């Protein structure tokens, strides 16, 4: 390997390490929240979030951005770790959506109303397909774009948008019809 190629490779790895560090600050809480909603254990979710960044760092030398942003790669790792965790834990606990903490507002009535609405949404989400629920979790709890979710689930961006649209439409119809 020429010295120029070696320097270029080291420079790229240094750049990727810097990006990963900046993504840690921005995405650790989002990844932990995503894992918490899936596994229902705050400590376990934090462990998974930490493991995501550890695994990412360990495989950073092999990381190449091929049209997939690094944060989508992190959520793919998180998704895989959550699935592994759930396989190991046969009696896992899922946190119902209504148990997800809502940031306190100045108006307690609004907070109560939002919690009641989340309970209704949680009830109707049970009538969605597993893939639709995963899309909703990644998009709204993970804060990912349709493209990032598509990369994680091996679906096209359009397919993710369609699954999201269909899921939200079904939720809306069930809420309007009073089935929640």
- Global pTM reads 0.60
Mark whether 85 and 117 lie in a shared domain. Answer: no
For residues 81 and 45, give the distance between their C-alpha atoms in angstroms, rounded to a whole number.
10
Domain boundary among 95, 113, 131: 95
pLDDT tens, N- to C-terminus, the chain (180 residues): 554 544 555 677 788 888 888 889 888 998 998 898 888 888 999 999 999 999 999 888 887 777 667 888 888 899 899 988 988 876 545 556 555 555 555 667 777 777 777 777 778 888 889 889 889 888 887 888 898 888 888 899 999 999 999 999 998 888 888 776
Mark whether 60 and 109 lie in a shared domain. Answer: no
**Quick one: 64 exposed, middle or buried, by C-beta within 10 A (0-12, 13-18, 19+)?**
exposed
CATH of the domain at 122: 1.10.10.10
For residues 60 and 22, give the distance between their C-alpha atoms in angstroms, rounded to a whole number.
14
How is residue 154 annotated by DSSP? T
Domain residues for the domain of 145 are 100-180
As given in the structure block, the two tokens for residue 62 are 């092999």
Mark whether 154 and 78 lie in a shared domain. Answer: no
């Amino acid at each position: 390997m020429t010295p120029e190629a070696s320097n270029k490779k080291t420079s790229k790895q240094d750049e990727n390490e810097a990006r990963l560090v900046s993504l840690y600050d921005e995405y650790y809480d989002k990844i932990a929240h995503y894992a918490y909603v899936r596994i229902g254990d705050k400590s376990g979710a934090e462990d998974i979030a930490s493991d995501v960044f550890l695994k990412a760092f360990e495989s950073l030398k092999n990381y190449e951005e091929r049209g997939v942003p690094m944060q989508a790669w992190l959520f793919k790792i998180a998704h895989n770790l959550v699935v592994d965790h759930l396989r190991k834990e046969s009696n896992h606990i899922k946190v119902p959506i209504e148990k997800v903490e809502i940031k306190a507002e100045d108006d307690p009535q609004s907070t109560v109303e939002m919690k009641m609405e989340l309970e209704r949404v949680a009830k109707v989400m049970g009538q969605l397909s597993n893939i639709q629920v995963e899309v909703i979790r990644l998009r709204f709890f993970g804060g990912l774009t349709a493209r990032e979710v598509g990369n994680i689930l091996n679906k096209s961006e359009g397919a993710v948008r369609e699954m999201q649209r269909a899921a939200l439409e079904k939720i809306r119809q069930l809420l309007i019809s009073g089935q929640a």
